[in-house]
Structure 1
Amino acid sequence: MFDTKVALIVRDDLPVWQKLNVVAFLATGVAAAAPEALGEPYEDAAGIRYGRMLGQPMLVFTADLPGLQAAHRQALARELRIVPYVHAMFSTGHDAANREAFRAQDAANLDLVGLALHGAKKAVDKAVKGLALHG
């Protein structure tokens, strides 16, 4: 049904509130990076219009840091859309500081706590191979 796939990966050692926060931010990143994936606005029976959501499912996976880093490498190799979230971003107070915290990371050894991937189904499947769905 869909040619593309969305996978959100969150680090398994985070408190639940941080996992939810990371997943929420990653989902907004996918929507911003792939506006064509958004569905139409919702409308209730009274004609009140509501916001749009992605028009395809998003699967949420869990991984440890090495698993996230492996998925990141696979995603880079497959030229997927990638939305990263690193641990240092928990201590910032605004978007510009998040980008500074990300830029300060060692690109070959990102301290990832979350990752969103969007692209061709097969490529996303290969990037998340071996990871468990979040339960």
Structure 2
Amino acid sequence: MITKCAIVVSEELPTGLAANAAGVLSVTLGHRVDGLVGADVEDADGVAHPGIIATPLPILAAPRAKVAALVRAAAEDDELFFVSFSALAQSCRTYAEYTGRMAATTTAGLDSVGVAVHGPRKRVDRLVGSLPLLR
């Protein structure tokens, strides 16, 4: 099976917050999806370099309402792995603050500002294929 991944962030986010959302989502994606990060490599001088993602990872943009719709659609598809990133998470200064605030917030109360998806290429393309790159 050919897989694909993509990250979508809200086009309403300022550049720094959009980069932050994409960074957080990519770290989680790399940690949770086996085989996404390639093996370490050596350059021509024999210097070792840590592996990087072995597949393209487009960072796309969409209106915040579309990001929320993508989260809902990904949650309903058993073949997709997804990570949602909320405005609540982005506003926290520590992980302890994040876990405490999440425990007091319903799923419906979360305002998604980004989502990462991974799964079969056709399913990911159906979700994000028409979205533009983040510029």
Judge same fold: TM > 0.5, yes or no: yes
Seen in structure 2, the aligned counterparts of structure 1 residues 58 and 73 have a Cα distance that, compared at 3 Å, is: same
Q: Which runs of 5+ in 2 are unaligned?
A: none
Seen in structure 2, the aligned counterparts of structure 1 residues 105 and 128 have a Cα distance that, compared at 3 Å, is: farther
Q: Which runs of 5+ in 1 are unaligned?
A: none
In the alignment, the residues of structure 2 paired with residue 125 and residue 110 of structure 1 have an alpha-carbon distance, to the nearest angstrom, of 25
Runs of 4+ in structure 1 off by over 6 angstroms are none
5 Å matches for 1:87-102?
Answer: 87-102=87-102
TM-score, reference length from structure 1: 0.87
In the alignment, the residues of structure 2 paired with residue 103 and residue 130 of structure 1 have an alpha-carbon distance, to the nearest angstrom, of 35
Seen in structure 2, the aligned counterparts of structure 1 residues 54 and 24 have a Cα distance that, compared at 3 Å, is: same
One-letter code aligned to 1:62: A
Q: What SS class does the counterpart of residue 18 from structure 2 fall into?
A: helix
One-letter code aligned to 1:131: L
Q: Deviations over 1:55-97 (max 9, x none)?
A: 0001111111210011111111212111111111222122343
Q: Deviations over 1:82-134 (max 9, x none)?
A: 11111112221223433444444431353011110011111111222543222
Backbone CA RMSD of aligned residues: 1.9
| Structure 1 contact 65–113 (Cα < 8 Å) conserved | yes
Seen in structure 2, the aligned counterparts of structure 1 residues 108 and 129 have a Cα distance that, compared at 3 Å, is: farther
Q: What SS class does the counterpart of residue 60 from structure 2 fall into?
A: strand
One-letter code aligned to 1:98: Y
- Give the equivalent residue in structure 1 for 2:72: 73
- Give the equivalent residue in structure 2 for 1:123: 123
Q: What SS class does the counterpart of residue 45 from structure 1 fall into?
A: coil
**Corresponding residue pairs, total:** 134
One-letter code aligned to 1:75: A
In the alignment, the residues of structure 1 paired with residue 113 and residue 29 of structure 2 have an alpha-carbon distance, to the nearest angstrom, of 16
